Structure 1
Amino acid sequence: IFFRKWNDDKNVDLIILKGSGEKAFCAGGDVLAVIRSAKEAKEGSKTTIHMDFFKEEYYLNHLIGVLSKPFVAFIDGIVMGGGCGLSVNGKFRVGTERTMLAMPETALGLFPDVGGSFFLSRLKNNLGNYLALTGYRLQGADAFHAGLATHYVPSSKLGELQEKLVSLGSVTDKILIDKDRNPKWKPTTLEEVTDEKLAWYFSPLEQDRDIDVTRPLSRL
């Protein structure tokens, strides 16, 4: 697997995963083929497509989750099922205004796989249960506020962001986590949270806003 090779390669400082087309990051695997294989196996066929698929899928999801190298997924466009497994299990997920994220497996009679039972169960306010049961589609800003995306930038800026991340080399992990660069401001109290602040907080980001990867993404 390339991920393991890259993780062990001393010349690799950063792993960026993005979709090969314009519409999707990854719309998931061929669920119908997996279901067909399982049915045929139950009827006596020697097909192992479904077993091989899940074995390789979960191995890859786990590997992405334990990579020692900084891993960044540009989840621009459609992110469904297997696309969530290839991104949400990693450390950094960059959403955009084009992101449309969902776990539609239950509508097909399957459970939320690709590690979904792990990361969905950790979302606040039972949001994971809702997403698993309904297959509801989250837009980019929704995915960011839910924690499924760790960062949010305009789609038009992804190329620039990629160049900046690559130029950072081995310090990418520290810049993205940015634990020590957060301003030491006084935390906002509930009394200070006005309707105007809430409206601004949940408003879309401006398309022409310049990216500064050295700044935290807090908005209040």
Structure 2
Amino acid sequence: MTVTLITGANKGIGFETARQLLELGHVVYLGARDVERGEQAAATLGARFVQLDVTEDDSVGKALATIGADEGRLDVLVHNAGVLGDGTIDGPKALRVFDTNAVGIVRVTEAALPLLRRSTNPVVVTVSSSAGSFWAVNNPDRPEYHLPVALYSASKAAATMLTIQYAKAEPGIRFNAVEPGTTATDMTAAFGIGRSPEQSAAFVVRLATIGPDGPTGTFQDETGELPW
């Protein structure tokens, strides 16, 4: 059985990724900050719930300790938790966005590494965004060019870079960042754009289920590697 942890998985792409991986036979730990919502989502899917706030060291440590005690290893980690931080920009909001979207990746990865190293096929997927790609945001033909989400874009650029650097530092683990596609979720509701979470999650699942000969250190969407 493949043991998988997904952060921010009580709704949207994370929830749908959990559903699809459960259908493939994974043991899925659904991580969520809110206990009530997380437990409800896990019960709906038949997943296992762990309270996990990526902005709190204690929460992250306890979640990974639970998985370690129950399973002894972690095979797949999906960094999905994220916030948009649109609207007026100020220091506190910037700290919150970067803490969730970038620093959270460091917290969870560092806590998960001992368990990932025990896996025979460890995989880490970061749900990043081409909104953090210099190439995309400077291309008038791309939707990212028109999105007024400076903090989100900057934090996702950091998320992609962290993923690439972890791939270099941990050659025994496959780390990849993905652009899942513009998706209609609570986070993008104000923009009225995007396809279904089911469609976007399918690509996340594809990268979460690669074998030992799969890619590592890449940033890609469904069509292949993206410039960034």
TM superposition score normalised by structure 1: 0.30
Greater relative CO, 1 or 2 (CA 8 Å, sep 6+): 2
